Amino acid sequence: MRLLGVLILAGVVPFLGGCRADKASQAASELDARVSVRQPAATEPSAEPPAAADNRPLIVCFGDSLTAGYGEDPGASYPDYLQKDLDAEGYRYRVVNEGVSGNTSKDGVERLAGIVAMKPAVVVVEFGGNDGLRGLKTETTRDNLAKILSGLKAAGTKVVIAGISLPPDYGPDYVKAFTANYSSLGKQFNLPVLPFLLQNVYGVEGMMQGDRTHATARGNEVVAKNVLPYVTPLLRK
């Protein structure tokens, strides 16, 4: 938008003592003494049309730092690569990254209402890693995941469970009970389960960051490939 400034023009005719102005000069003097204001021009229409709304159905990747893409540049999370993979295969869906670093399964329960409000077609649920790293009871994690899954199913959303595991130094009994949660919940809710999100990534040179917990950009590309075959059966072209 271009604003035109207000230009004020004022003219003053000097008074000459002893001289009597005739009617013509008096009229000219009155005309010059008036204040003239230039009106601003009409607003020009915007040259750019409004952006079209993206009405594609949503696929929400709901989880913690493994979903958020912690430690990598924007655009290098697994949901970003999942979007590219879906586009390449001709699926018209929009992938939304709802990963929050540091989230536990309890945080997932607290964020559930916001996810449901988005009315997604599909949600990939990835929680539990931070529960395990903190040594929380596996029963607590399972109960929280059950609340998330039941809430999504009640809303009519299709769901994929993305499982995760823990390093062996957490103890064989704890690790076994922890990982068993995902398959057990899959059976309970009749949902597809990706057993290990970091399959072909964890422990592979160049695929994991220095913390040995989060995938690199290259690793996230593989993670997206891991998720893809669990999501596509739930979609339509």
Establish whether 214 is a catalytic residue. Answer: yes
Domain ranges of the chain: 59-234
Q: What is the pLDDT of residue 52?
A: 77
Q: What is the pLDDT of residue 45?
A: 52
pTM of the entire structure?
0.79
Among the options 65, 77, 105, 165, which is catalytic? 65
Cα–Cα distance for residue pair 160/149, rounded to 1 Å: 9
Q: What is the pLDDT of residue 134?
A: 96
- Structure-token pair, residue 219: 């690793």
Among the options 22, 73, 169, 211, which is catalytic? 211
Q: What is the pLDDT of residue 127?
A: 98
Strands 36-37 and 8-9: what pairing?
A: antiparallel
Establish whether 65 is a catalytic residue. Answer: yes
Selection from 189, 227, 200, 192 nearest residue 82 by Cα:
227
Give the burial class of 115: count Cβ atoms within 10 A of its Cβ; 0-12 exposed, 13-18 middle, 19 or more buried. buried
CATH number assigned to the domain covering 59-234: 3.40.50.1110
Cα–Cα distance for residue pair 3/72, rounded to 1 Å: 44
Write out residues in the chain with pLDDT < 50, as ranges: 1-42
Establish whether 211 is a catalytic residue. Answer: yes
Q: What is the pLDDT of residue 139?
A: 98
Q: What is the pLDDT of residue 44?
A: 55
Q: What is the pLDDT of residue 24?
A: 41
112, 46 contact by CB (below 8 A): no
